[in-house]
């Protein structure tokens, strides 16, 4: 792709990888993701600048996607409930990175959180302000807000950015010293198949979905970014993976998947649920 840059593994910086050949039949002319031979992370190597990827997402959103869809609304509600039952939202100052139309902010506002959304789309920022919430109309490439937060949430967004480490560094800088980070993703690997592989992959440009996480690789990137793991949801019985990390001292642990196991997982998915 024009303008694109080649990336090594975001988790361990290895340049040794195996191409995920089984993806080819589902992704049109796109370059397939690769699996890191060292840590099993599944990622896209060729990526355009962040702004171009964000523009694509605006177009994809423009084609009718809305967080008001029952499935989308339900998964955001699930995250709101999961955190509420474990830690509580009441009185907390929360920033949602990639806040979209503000559906999640609305849920936690009802649970007495003070909410802000960081969101590049002006139209969405207007909707967020319509909730009486603060909108930061920007991307993570722009400066970090002066305000500091108790909780930062990154929901169904980390897999779609250009540089996941950069997004997590940004999130960390937005937090108070004892703040918490919540990451949720539907791109789960090494779990029961929730849908046909043909709907898991898409023909959208490969770098609109650069990363696909298992429990171990998501734990590792939080760990790399100096968050200690506080909670993980029951991700095998749910269709999303939710992790809560604490900002603070963190012992480094080299969580990893075996690359061959990740490739086998996709091959089995292709055979059993194409
Ligand atoms: Zn790696």
Number of continuous H segments (helices) and E segments (strands) in the chain: 8, 13
pLDDT of res. 172 = 97
pLDDT at 1: 63
Distance 197 CA to ligand 1 centre (A): 23
Could you read off the pLDDT of 173-224 as tens digits, one per residue?
Answer: 999 999 999 999 998 999 999 999 999 999 999 999 999 999 999 999 999 9
Look at residue 157 in the predicted model and tell me its pLDDT: 94
Q: Is the dihedral of CA 3, 157, 69, 29 positive or negative?
A: positive
Q: Helical H runs in 42-134? A: 50-62, 70-86, 103-109, 122-130
The pair phi, psi for residue 36, each rounded to 5°, is: -65, 125
Q: What pTM was estimated for this model as a whole?
A: 0.96
Q: How remote is the CA of residue 232 from the centroid of ligand 1, in Å?
A: 22
Candidates 167, 159, 154, 156; CA nearest to 224 is 167
pLDDT of 61 reads: 64
pLDDT for res 127? 96
Alpha helices in 115-210 (DSSP H): 122-130, 164-174, 197-200
d(CA 251, ligand 1 centre) in Å: 19
CA of 45 to the centre of ligand 1 (A): 12
Q: Which pLDDT score, from 0 to 100, does residue 62 have?
A: 63
The rounded distance, in Å, linking the Cα atoms of 225 and 107 is 28
Instruction: Point out the residues of the chain with pLDDT beneath 50.
Output: none
């Amino acid at each position: 792709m024009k303008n694109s840059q080649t990336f090594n593994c975001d988790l361990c910086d290895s340049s040794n990888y195996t191409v995920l050949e089984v993806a080819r039949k589902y992704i049109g002319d796109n370059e397939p993701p690769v699996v890191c031979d060292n840590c099993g992370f599944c990622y896209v190597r060729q990526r355009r600048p962040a702004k171009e990827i964000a523009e694509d997402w605006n177009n994809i959103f423009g084609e009718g996607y809305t967080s008001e869809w029952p499935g989308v609304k339900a998964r955001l509600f699930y995250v709101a409930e999961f955190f509420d039952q474990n830690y509580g939202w009441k009185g907390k100052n929360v920033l949602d990175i990639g806040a979209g139309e503000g559906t999640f902010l609305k849920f936690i506002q009802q649970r007495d959180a003070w909410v802000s959304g960081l969101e590049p789309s002006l139209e969405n920022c207007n909707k967020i302000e319509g909730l009486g919430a603060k909108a930061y109309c920007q991307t993570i490439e722009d400066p970090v807000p002066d305000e500091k937060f108790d909780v930062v949430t990154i929901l169904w967004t980390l897999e779609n950015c250009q540089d996941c480490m950069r997004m997590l560094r940004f999130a960390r800088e937005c937090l108070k010293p004892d703040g918490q980070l919540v990451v949720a993703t539907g791109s789960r690997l090494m779990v029961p198949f929730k849908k046909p592989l043909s709907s898991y992959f898409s023909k959208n440009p490969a770098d609109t979905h650069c990363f696909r996480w298992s429990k171990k690789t998501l734990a590792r990137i939080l760990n790399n970014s100096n968050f200690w793991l506080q909670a993980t949801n029951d991700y095998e019985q749910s269709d999303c993976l939710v992790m809560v990390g604490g900002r603070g001292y963190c012992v480094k642990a080299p969580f990893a998947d075996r690359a061959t196991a990740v490739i086998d997982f996709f091959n089995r998915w292709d055979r059993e649920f194409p």
